[in-house]
Amino acid sequence: MAYEITRDYISFGNARSGEKLKEVKFIVSHSTGNPGSTAYANRNYFNNHQPYASAHTFIDDRYILEIIPLDEKAWHVLYSKPTDNRMFGADANDAAIGVELCYGGNINFTEAYNRYVWYHAYLCQKFNLDPSKHIVSHRTLDPERRTDPLDAFRLYGITWDGFISDVSRMLESSQSLKNRASQVPSTFLRLPLKIGDRGPFVKEVQEDLIRAGFPLPKYGADGIFGEETERAVMAFQKQYGLHIDGLVGRETLTKLTEVVKSKLYNEEFPLPNKVLKRGDTGEDVKMVQRALKHLNFDPKDIDGIYGKKTENAVRRFQSMYAALKDDGIYGPNTRKFMKMELQQK
């Protein structure tokens, strides 16, 4: 093989049930929610914390790391999302391999991306899949909540279509899947994006500008970088203290991705920025209870009453982290770690 596959499976628990996949019908491409976190850092997180979420494989610039056997289920797409059923006739958790790209920090993106492309081609060969038909992004399956892996790709000038082309070329050169390492001739779009640029990458940026609260009322997300898009970019740059030039470069893309992710998570599970404890009541308590329930620290009732059950649920959550005092009181530090967990889930 061109690259070595490391199999270091996590122990059985919430993240690895041991249930068998019925049949591998497709691949779901993800990128990690915490940029800079390596393949082994993710493996250790899932092994030690056992959240009700997982993926089969994490890839960085050093490892293609399978943490769940490919014949077992991983929990990488919500069952309630209908798109996977519509596209493939099955839920992703029951019929797909989940593959995570690790990027950012000290990770060499080119090395990680080459392994990511190669591994997708390897899976296509192994399970007789067509890259153009049987690889789907997490964003496509869960557009209200997720942006991956396109958020990672575009930081480095890669389009989704370019990624699929890279996988297809690698698959066509099947010898590279068995005998030798090879560099992937990636399809890059030069940054910064500017007036006159067009294509799917531009459309993705436009969609996220709209999500971030910078509408494009005349043309919408049409894939053409015109004056309306430039004005929206400049308004975004002004609001977030960036250099105002109307160009979408690395800094603007990074901030846009951050804002969109934060907006998606905050809209679904807003968390109050105050101290709450036993005896408190109201909508703020309900917010905490909903988040706890989603994270599987069930407070039993979403009733807005911070009673014994909610206090115990908060305490169980706090006990996962050495940095938190498990006193059952919801405060700034507990909020910080709850937000992190919600973004991972």
131/103 Cα distance (integer angstroms): 22
CB 15 within 8 Å of CB 50: yes
Q: Which residue has the tokens 């309306």?
A: 228
200-267: CATH class: mainly alpha
CATH code 3.40.80.10 for 5-177: yes
| Structure token digits, residue 40 | 């082994």
Rg (the chain; Cα; Å): 21
DSSP H or E stretch at residue 135? strand 135-137
| Structure token digits, residue 124 | 């296509």
Q: Are strands 57-59 and 96-101 parallel, antiparallel or unpaired?
A: parallel
275/294 Cα distance (integer angstroms): 20
pTM: 0.65
Q: Which residue has the tokens 């890279």?
A: 166
Contacts of 211 (CB under 8 A, 6+ apart): 260, 263, 264
Contacts of 97 (CB under 8 A, 6+ apart): 24, 27, 28, 56, 57, 70, 74, 123, 127
User: Any idea which fold 283-344 has?
Assistant: Muramoyl-pentapeptide Carboxypeptidase; domain 1 (1.10.101)
344/291 Cα distance (integer angstroms): 13
Q: pLDDT tens across 291-321, in order?
A: 898 787 878 889 999 999 999 999 999 888 8
107/39 Cα distance (integer angstroms): 10
Specify the DSSP class assigned to residue 197: -
Q: Kindly state the percentage of the chain with pLDDT values over 90.
A: 60
Instruction: Classify each residue of 296-305 as buried b or exposed e, where b means 16 or more C-beta atoms within 10 Å of its C-beta.
Output: bbebeebebb
Find the angle CA(68)-CA(315)-CA(335) to the nearest 5 degrees. 80
CB 117 within 8 Å of CB 182: no
Residues paired with residue 27 on neighbouring β-strands, in sequence order: 97, 135
Q: How far is CA 22 from CA 70, 97, 177, in A?
A: 11, 12, 25
Across 262-278, average pLDDT: 81
Q: pLDDT tens across 135-184, in order?
A: 999 999 998 888 899 989 988 888 899 999 999 999 988 655 654 433 43
| Structure token digits, residue 333 | 């530090």
Q: pLDDT tens across 15-72, in order?
A: 999 999 989 999 999 999 777 888 988 888 888 788 889 999 999 998 999 999 999 9
Nearest by Cα to 88 from 167, 157, 27, 172: 27
Q: Are strands 64-66 and 57-59 parallel, antiparallel or unpaired?
A: antiparallel
Domain boundaries, the chain: 5-177, 200-267, 283-344
Q: pLDDT tens across 104-120, in order?
A: 888 999 999 999 999 99
Instruction: Tell me the average pLDDT of the chain.
Output: 88
Phi, psi of 150 (to 5 degrees): -65, -30
Beta strands in 147-219 (DSSP E): none
Do 200-267 and 283-344 agree at the fold level? yes
